[in-house]
Amino acid sequence: MAKANRVDLTERDYKGAESTMCRGCGHDAISASIMRAFFASSVDPRSVIKMSGIGCSSKTPNYFMNQAFGINAVHGRMASVATGANVGNHSMIPLGISGDGDTSAIGLGNFCHMMRRNVNITYVIENNGVYGLTKGQFSATADEGTVMKGGKINDMPAIDLCELAITLGATYVARSFSGDRKQLAPLIQGAVAHKGSAILDVLSPCVTFNDHSGSTKSLKYIREHLDPLHDIDFIPPYENIEVDYEEGTDQEVTMHDGSRITLHKLGHNYDPTNRMQAVTALHAAVAEHKFLTGLVYLNEERAEFVDDLNLCDTPLSYLTQEQVQPPAIRLDEINAELRK
Amino acid sequence: MPVVNDLSISVATANGSGSASSNNILFKSIFKMGIPCSSKNMFPSNIQGLPTWYQIRANADGYLGRKDVIDVMVMFNDDTADKDIYRVRDGGLIIYDDTKPLPDNLKRDGVQYVGVPANALVQKHVEAGPLRAKQRNMLYVGALAYLFGIDMETIREVLSDTFGNKPAVIESNLLCIQLGYDHMRDNNLSQSLAMLETIPGGNEGKIVTEGNTACALGAIYGGVTFCAWYPITPSSSLAEALERYLPRLRKDKDGKHTYAVIQAEDEIAATNMVAGAGWMGARAMTSTSGPGVSLMNETLGLQYFAEIPGVYFIIQRGGPSTGLPTRTQQADIQLMHVASHGDTRHIILIPHDMKSSFDLARKSFDVAERFQTPVFVMMDLDLGMNLWGSDPLELVQEPFDRGKVLSQEDLDRQGSFARYLDLDGDGIPQRTIPGNRHPLASYFARGSGHDSQARYSEDEKDYKETLDRLRQKYETARAYVPKPLVEYDAGIHTGVICFGSSYEAVREARDRLKASGVNTNHLLLRALPLSEEVREFMANHEVIYLMEQNRDGQMAAIFREEYPEFATRIVSILIYDGLPATAGEIVRQVEQHREAATNGIETKVDESWQKQIASI
Ligand SMILES: Cc1ncc(C[n+]2csc(CCOP(=O)(O)OP(=O)(O)O)c2C)c(N)n1
Ligand code: SF4
Ligand SMILES: [Mg+2]
């Protein structure tokens, strides 16, 4: 018997359709971490909405959590679709999947404004530095000096999506690697527990178009340049585990729903709630050609977007005619005003 | 003898000079006298300084379209005065500021001049300050009131209706209006053109509003819960009316909102937010104009193909590109009809007055949910932003039509669910709303090819089936959308078709044609797709004048495609100078066609009318 979680589901219940990614594509590994994270947090897939744009990465929501409603929107606009969906029914748990092209090029503006609003979402960017689905052109996260399969060199600086996210108001910002499930799964759990824009920039090698030598997003290069900030554990609210806590090297943050993230520092003396330090660390990592991974920034103070809107408790999409159609007498009052 | 209650006044001022307030007082005073009246605001795309004209028509017969000729010109803008003197008709009246003598180049034969020393009077009686220049405009209100018979008591009432809780504002305005009034009286100035006389009980119960307000109220009564929009003239005032009325009308018992209005970062975001909210099951809308629709095209296709409801209020303005952003046009019909790439056909609802703006706005959410598709409500600047007298808005009490939405119980009963399967043969599949926890409920919506189970598919059969079903859905809509309003007499073989803001001008034009012996039947189109009633009307007439406000006959092209057998019967009447349509121009084009037809001369568009200075 497979192990069941608190909502009585086994890990199998988090599966989706058969993947159509290339064998070895980082995106599939991310899907596996997503399934692991939602299972481990005992989230019922029927409470989840899966959203994406267009690209190889954006196809993947089809490959996990069949029981969740999903939408594969147009290229680059998932951030806006998610904004509408979150406001339309704020009781659902929003999960967005995007690519580096989808988010950092065509969809950059809408992505920025979603974070500026602090829309509640777990927003995963499956970052391979290229456009996979259109066969390997550079994306805006391609590092300066990286080489395309045909030999073309990128001479523009990469957009650092984590730095951008911090600047624009996202409240949970993490970087990880598709091959590091031990780090990625708890980061996703934390993102789901967080209320606000949680941005996960996940390095995800495109084995078909960007895995050659000279590429800074090849599996080998990424592995050699990873620089994790900390080991990370996620403890859901219902678990009463006491963690061994080492003053100075361990940090624990409690989230609004009572869940906890514990960070065991690795070399860096790093506090993710310090915004300036986060930006500085990201800058330093770029200069040292390192991929800083882990929970880069966390702000549990800022209200999420739907709180700013003062919405009624019932999701807007469930409101009935009785709840939304004012009585005719109010129209008479307005008619009277329009006579003046 | 001056005529009674038939008058057009054009007020020429500079934008931002405070004339909006004085024009409003003037218009509402005439309305309060019980005289049917309308106003057309020809304003610039500018905040201060560029010329603006405000044209009021008072007409006892109730014609509310723009009048062809201007009887009275209030010449209060030096920058346009040299042209304004020719905009007024022969025998008309010019009111001007005679603080300084009139320069020679502003003198013209065949019109009467009446001066009011507005500058001198405000300088003498109004304290120096930023308000003084604005107060100057109140003087022409007083001058017109005396000359045409609006009594000061009516004006006082309008001032108190308008500025109720600000007695100081009422007093300062009243002072200036009185100055203008007294100057006319004390100098025995008069005119013999026309008089305004109170019509007892006239306008009784009537309201004055703009289409954008009526649409916003309709949307609220239609249960809108979500609006995402990006500011653009002439549509902003619709979303702003929502923002004004929603807090009053739509709070729950805890004071929380049963709605959300989001000012998006652009129209692309707005349309995608609508798609997201609509997919979730919220009644979602946006309002925009042509440039916004251009940006929204891609997602309109997503909503069409993935079958996501949403309502799009489109307030048309002069295009292409930025065009004339503050002038009126009906030139985005094709843009809406087949919005987005690939084969699409969209449902369009077309209000023509204040009441139908309210009604169709309310109904649009039912149509969108019934057909699971984006629905356009096609407005234009004339309808949306100008003030119109109207019978009060009225709520038709009927249950919302949420379409084929399946609940958990429905799914239990049915035992199966395929999101894109046409069970009923009407092209409309069943839909579930996220949050429905039945094991069969979830599905994956996408803009890429899919089968009836909503699975990704590149299969040619699935693809063609989907396209054909979507077309079937459009065919089903023919019988569901609002029917045209038809005036029909079997003995008459000439038909006139119009829609939207053209209605008033066409109504008046038909009466004039009738007076000259040309009888016509009429069809007021209220929606696309075209319904059976339209086909019948086409079949029953030998000649059909199709009036629209664009250069290329965009609606006529749709008619010709739908009814190739009647294509040659259609004669386009086209007005596209950006100004609200007039009856006179419609009559002129109809007569020109008739003359050419009887004389056997090929119809040629005579463009001389466009070369004349438009009577703004
Ligand atoms: C409006 C529009 N322009 C272009 C495309 C073509 N297109 C499809 S996917 C894609 C890039 C995807 O790259 P990314 O988001 O990085 O996803 P990946 O395939 O790398 O996972 C592009 C340009 C499109 N679908 N729509
Ligand atoms: S092309 Fe690249 S990104 Fe796309 S599925 Fe293949 S490996 Fe993955
Ligand atoms: Mg990519």
Judge contact between B355 and B576, C-beta under 8 A. Answer: no
Instruction: Dump pLDDT digits (tens) for A258-275.
Output: 999 999 988 888 999 999
Judge contact between B209 and A338, C-beta under 8 A. Answer: yes
**Max intra-chain CA distance, chain A:** 76
Judge contact between B396 and B222, C-beta under 8 A. Answer: no
Instruction: Dump pLDDT digits (tens) for B102-128.
Output: 999 999 999 999 999 999 999 999 988
Instruction: Dump pLDDT digits (tens) for B329-369.
Output: 999 999 999 999 999 999 999 999 999 999 999 999 999 99
User: Coil, helix or strand for A174?
Assistant: strand
Instruction: Dump pLDDT digits (tens) for B22-72.
Output: 999 999 999 999 999 999 999 888 888 899 999 999 999 999 999 999 999
Inter-helix orientation angle B138-148/B152-163, to 10°? 140
Backbone φ and ψ of B13, nearest 5°? -140, 180
pLDDT of residue B109: 95
Judge contact between B583 and B509, C-beta under 8 A. Answer: yes
Report B:364-423 residues touching A (Cβ under 8 A): 392-395, 397, 399-400
Residue whose entry in the numeric block shows the structure tokens 């984006």:
B374
pLDDT of residue B415: 98
Out of A62, A89, A330, name the one closest to residue B444 (CB): A62
Buried residues in A223-238 as b, exposed as e (16+ CB within 10 A)? eeebbbbbebbbbbee
pLDDT of residue B601: 53
B268 contacts chain A (CB < 8 A): yes
Name the pLDDT band for A239 (thresholds 50, 70, 90).
confident
Q: Tokens for A213, please give them.
A: 């030598």
What proportion of chain A, given as a percentage, has pLDDT over 70?
99
The candidate with the shortest Cα–Cα distance to B198, out of B140, B142, B145, is B145
Span A79-106, mean pLDDT?
98
Is A339 in contact with B207 (Cβ distance < 8 A)? Answer: yes
In order of their start, the domains of chain B are 3-204 (3.40.920.10), 209-390 (3.40.50.970), 408-477 (no CATH), 485-612 (3.40.50.920)
Best of A58, A206, A215 for a ligand 2 pocket test (most atoms within 8 Å of beta carbon): A206
Question: What is the tally of helices (H) and strands (E) in chain B?
Answer: 21, 23
Report A:81-140 residues touching B (Cβ under 8 A): 81-89, 91-92, 109-110, 112-113
Give bridge partners of residue B288 from the DSSP assignment: B314
In order of their start, the domains of chain A are 11-308 (3.40.50.970)
B302 contacts chain A (CB < 8 A): yes
A241 contacts chain B (CB < 8 A): no
User: Coil, helix or strand for A126?
Assistant: strand
The CA distance from A74 to the nearest CA of chain B, in Å, is: 7
Span A79-92, mean pLDDT?
98
Distance in angstroms (rounded) separating the CA atoms of residues B44 and B203: 31
Concatenating the DSSP letter of every residue in B436-475 gives: ---TTT--EEESS-B-TTS-B---HHHHHHHHHHHHHHHH
Please state the pTM of the whole predicted model: 0.96
**How many residues does this entry show for chain B?**
616
Q: What residue of A is the nearest CA neighbor of B437?
A: A46
Q: Does the CB atom of residue A57 touch ligand 1 within 6 A?
A: yes
Q: Tokens for B153, please give them.
A: 């008591």
User: Coil, helix or strand for B269?
Assistant: helix
Beta strand pairing call for B347-349 and B374-380: parallel
Helix (H) or strand (E) holding A264: strand A260-265
Best of A20, A125, A127, A133 for a ligand 2 pocket test (most atoms within 8 Å of beta carbon): A133
Distance in angstroms (rounded) separating the CA atoms of residues B201 and B149: 18
Name the pLDDT band for B609 (thresholds 50, 70, 90).
very low
